[in-house]
Amino acid sequence: MLNRRQLLGAGAAGATLVSSKAWGQTLNMGLPEAALMDTAATQVTPRPSSGVDYTPVVTLNGWTLPYRMNNGVKEFHLVAEPVERELADGMIAHLWGYNGQSTGPTIEAVEGDRVRIYVTNKLPEGTTVHWHGLILPSGMDGVSGLSHPSIPPGKTFIYEFDLVKSGTFMYHPHGDEMTQMAMGMMGMFVVHPKDPTFMPVDRDFLIMLNAFDIDPGTYVPRIMTMTDFNLWTWNSRIFPDIDPLVVNKGDRVRVRVGNLTMTNHPIHMHGYDFKVTCTDGGWVPESAQWPEVSIDIPVGAMRAYEFVADHLGDWAIHCHKSHHTMNAMGHDVPTFIGVNKKPLTQKIRQFQPEYMPMGMSGMGDMAKMEMPLPDNTIPMMTGWGPYGPIEMGGMFSVVKVRDGIDADDYSDPGWYENPPGEMAYEWTGELPEFASNNSPKTILTPKPNSKG
């Protein structure tokens, strides 16, 4: 066990030991309150009333951990514990997380701050917290047995360090990592620039990509799964119950996306191109920022991108791996496209009159049907828009750009009404001639006739 001096000093250059007077004040104040969140709704943090000004991040279906000031140090209290998380209306997961939720609360502070983070372990086994991407003393890095001893059940450890750079970082256990991360233990850590004129935005959204393997009708993730996950989530939430990204027209918007799943995720946003402005290694200089409409988020990494919201509408934002926009799937179900199941259906209905044949012309019908499901399970494709079923799930939400949205208003404005002449429609007239090709050979297109 580290003694108090070792735990706080932790041996790296630049670390500052807490004085006896300051430590005494800390003890007299006791532990900071361990804030608890009991809802999966997005919580909006007000702008700071003192100190450096910044636009607080909005964690979709999440919240920001409060802190207290103690002798110039920002003190936070994380509690690692079993939690119940509502993944969507009608589905609860029994997970491990922090302060009542998985993913854990976002920690926000400012470049140059000194932070003191109390971590209380209410799990049945030891844990640690690794501060992914932050520059800090070796003894504060959170690797069990290497940086410091594991935090035993029922005990509280202190992590204390200076925030030497701004950016977007993550936190997660680094002890029995396979189990604890598969159970949902992770969160985001945002350090705002000390110069409020550096990289300012009007709206700042935060998404953590995570995944679970939970069998239909059950509650606890299968922790031994390595790649074949069946629930792909944003902040431990699945569509249709991921909150929208609500934006006022003309706002400069940042979207920060961290990935602690076991695979990469190409995040695509409709209706816009954007510039990649930050990685978990730091801010990208303006001259090096690159344009995208999809940005791949590697495993264990973060990417942030920015755009000006100048196109009104409801714009899809999602992972572009198509099976990541589905909910719990039977991966072993055979393909029936083109199969005539009528004779088989007649025979099955002799024993099961309610049997419904599916899959002969695709899977879209599943979004329209309301079939009986096991308890604690939601449909593979679901969600309704203003014109019918959206036929999505998993890692999918909507960016809603409107005129007249107040700066602190993130409430859902409802569906966008397309102006006349700006929506696809059915054509019932004579069709123009269309070309077709049945050859696999490359066909060269002739150059246009310049005289024409």
Q: Which CATH superfamily includes the segment(s) 58-192?
A: Cupredoxins -  blue copper proteins (2.60.40.420)
Long-range contacts of 12-19 (CB under 8 A, 24+ apart): 12/136, 12/137, 12/138, 12/139, 12/140, 14/137, 14/162, 14/164, 15/137, 15/161, 16/114, 16/162, 18/160
The backbone region for 40, taken as left when phi is positive above 0, alpha when psi lies in -120 to 50, beta otherwise, is alpha
| Cis status, amide bond into 353, omega within 30 of 0 | no
* Residue ranges of the chain with per-residue pLDDT less than 50: 1-26
Each residue of 197-231: pLDDT tens digit? 999 999 999 999 999 999 989 999 999 998 889 99
Q: Which residues contact 210 (CB under 8 A, 6 or more apart)?
A: 103, 184, 186, 233, 234, 235, 236, 260, 261
C-alpha dihedral (208, 63, 110, 265), degrees to nearest 10: 10
Q: Please report the pLDDT score of residue 231 as a whole number.
A: 93
Query: pLDDT tens, 14-37?
Result: 333 333 344 444 455 689 989 999
Residue 449's pLDDT is 80
Largest CA distance in the chain: 88
C-beta of residue 370 within 8 angstroms of C-beta of residue 362: no
Place of tokens 């705002």: 192
| Model pLDDT, residue 331 | 57
**How far is C-alpha 138 from the geometric centre of its chain's CA atoms?**
28
What's the pLDDT score for residue 364?
A: 57
As to burial, measured by CB atoms within 10 angstroms (0-12 exposed, 13-18 middle, 19+ buried), residue 143 is middle
Rounded to whole angstroms, how far apart are CA atoms 376 and 383?
17
Residue that is written with structure tokens 């029936």 in the block: 336
- Backbone dihedral angles phi then psi of residue 325, each to the nearest 5 degrees: -110, 35
CB 311 within 8 A of CB 327: no
User: Cβ distance 69 to 26 under 8 Å?
Assistant: no
The strand pairing partners of 268, in sequence order, are 294, 318
CA atoms within 13 A on the CB side of 283: 15
Q: Given this model, what pLDDT does residue 13 score?
A: 33
DSSP assignment of 348-387 equals HTTT-TT----BBTBSGGGGT------TT---SSEEEETT
What DSSP designation does 126 have? -
| Cis ω before 120 (30° cut-off from 0) | no
Listed residue (171, 54, 50) closest to 107, CA to CA: 171
Helix (H, G, I), strand (E, B) or coil at 180: helix
Residue 232 has φ and ψ, to the nearest 5°, of -105, 120
- SS3 of 181, please? helix
